[in-house]
């Protein structure tokens, strides 16, 4: 019995150590845990780049999905990129558009720029140069240089 308690204590310690003390919060009765968006996003980056773990695009995609579901605009934008590039998932421009749009709605300048490019060129959606320009302006107002260049004649 003591060994079981020690294993359980060690598991809880490492869960909190890896996720951060505020990252792992009990979400519902029954022992399920909900990891914070930041912890899941960082896990996705680790898998994507192979930092501390074996590079695994599919595992990165799953971690970014968890982070996006928890509200991370960075994870939403990363999912947009992965779907646009077909990295860890079958290439799907409509899904890329979806994820970039969510991140752009959260005010992420790089996502606003990428969504603007998709709208300007009709990738994953119908062409809409007016909306693209608005998105470029929003991203540029946040200091995103590629958006400023996109606005130049």
pLDDT digits (tens, 9 = 90+) for 116-145: 999 999 999 999 999 999 999 999 999 999
Residue 58: helix, strand or coil by DSSP?
Answer: helix
Q: Output the average pLDDT for the chain.
A: 83
Q: What pLDDT does 35 receive?
A: 62
For residue 127, what are the domain limits?
Answer: 36-151
**Would residue 15 count as lying in a domain?**
no
Number of separate domains in the chain: 1
**Would residue 28 count as lying in a domain?**
no
Helix axes 109-121, 129-141, angle to 10 degrees: 160
Q: What pLDDT does 114 receive?
A: 96
**Would residue 145 count as lying in a domain?**
yes
Got the DSSP string for 11-52? HHHHHHHHH-TTTEEEEETTTEEEE-HHHHHHHHHHHHHTSS
Task: HSE, CB side, 13 Å, CA atoms: give it for residue 147.
Answer: 23
**Would residue 87 count as lying in a domain?**
yes
**Would residue 65 count as lying in a domain?**
yes
**Would residue 98 count as lying in a domain?**
yes
Q: Is the pLDDT of residue 15 over 80?
A: no
């Amino acid at each position: 019995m003591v060994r079981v308690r020690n294993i359980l204590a060690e598991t809880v310690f490492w869960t909190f150590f890896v996720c951060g003390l505020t990252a792992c919060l009990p979400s519902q009765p029954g022992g399920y845990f909900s990891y914070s968006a930041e912890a899941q996003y960082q896990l996705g980056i680790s898998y994507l780049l192979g930092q501390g773990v074996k590079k695994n695009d599919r595992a990165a995609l799953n971690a970014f999905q968890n982070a996006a579901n928890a509200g991370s605009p960075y994870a939403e934008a990363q999912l947009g990129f992965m779907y646009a590039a077909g990295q860890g998932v079958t290439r799907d421009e409509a899904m890329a558009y979806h994820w970039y749009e969510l991140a752009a709605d959260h005010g992420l300048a790089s996502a606003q720029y990428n969504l603007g490019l998709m709208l300007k060129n009709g990738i994953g959606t119908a062409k809409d140069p007016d909306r693209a320009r608005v998105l470029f302006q929003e991203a540029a107002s946040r200091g995103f240089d590629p958006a400023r260049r996109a606005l130049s004649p």
